[in-house]
Homo-oligomer: A and B are copies of this chain.
């Protein structure tokens, strides 16, 4: 492929002329929200299964766990200093004043998703998988309770 064609493709994607290291706060906020949206959409059906509100499907759990495992944490770097505001966000300002605590809480969710994945790979039965899903839910809730505002702020 010619460089010119690639350049046109990059322009088409809105990537030209900037390096990702120069992302604007609003882009970082949007990216955080995008990752959380993808994570939430993957987790939604699974937590419903764990609550017996939807039939258990190992196929869906495996597929959605793979999604969660792949994307969760992609956005931690997007909480860098300077990204506190710039677009409506539910991220509590506490995140930046106690970043270590926030990262520890966030890391729990990564580990819980890892445990869920291991449970599946190890052939865990429905009960074991639902238990692992519950643990994931607790870590989501833990971090949201502490660091996600109920209403978006500017």
Minimum CB distance partner of A130 in chain B:
B1
Q: Say what secondary structure dominates the interface of chain A.
A: helix
Q: A9-B141, A34-B38, A67-B71 are in contact. List 6 more A-B contacts (CB 8 A).
A: A1-B135, A10-B51, A38-B71, A41-B74, A66-B70, A67-B74
Give CA–CA (A48, B9) in the complex, Å. 11
Q: Which residues from B are CB-within-8-Å of A34?
A: 33-35, 37-38, 41
Give CA–CA (A31, B34) in the complex, Å. 8
Give CA–CA (A95, B79) in the complex, Å. 35
Counting chain B CB atoms within 10 Å of each CB, the highest count among A5, A13, A74 belongs to A13
Q: Which residues from B are CB-within-8-Å of A74?
A: 38, 41, 67
A86 interface contact, C-beta 8 A: no
Docked complex: A1-38 residues within 8 A CB-CB of B: 1, 3, 5-10, 12-15, 19-20, 30-31, 33-35, 37-38
Whether the pair B70, A13 counts as a contact (CB closer than 8 A) is no
On A, residues with C-beta under 8 Å from B are 1, 3, 5-10, 12-15, 19-20, 30-31, 33-35, 37-38, 40-41, 43-45, 47-48, 50-54, 66-67, 70-71, 74, 131, 134-135, 137-138, 140-141, 144-145
Q: List 13 A-B contacts (CB under 8 A).
A: A1-B50, A1-B135, A1-B137, A3-B52, A6-B137, A12-B144, A13-B144, A20-B44, A31-B37, A34-B38, A38-B71, A38-B74, A67-B71
Whether the pair B70, A9 counts as a contact (CB closer than 8 A) is no
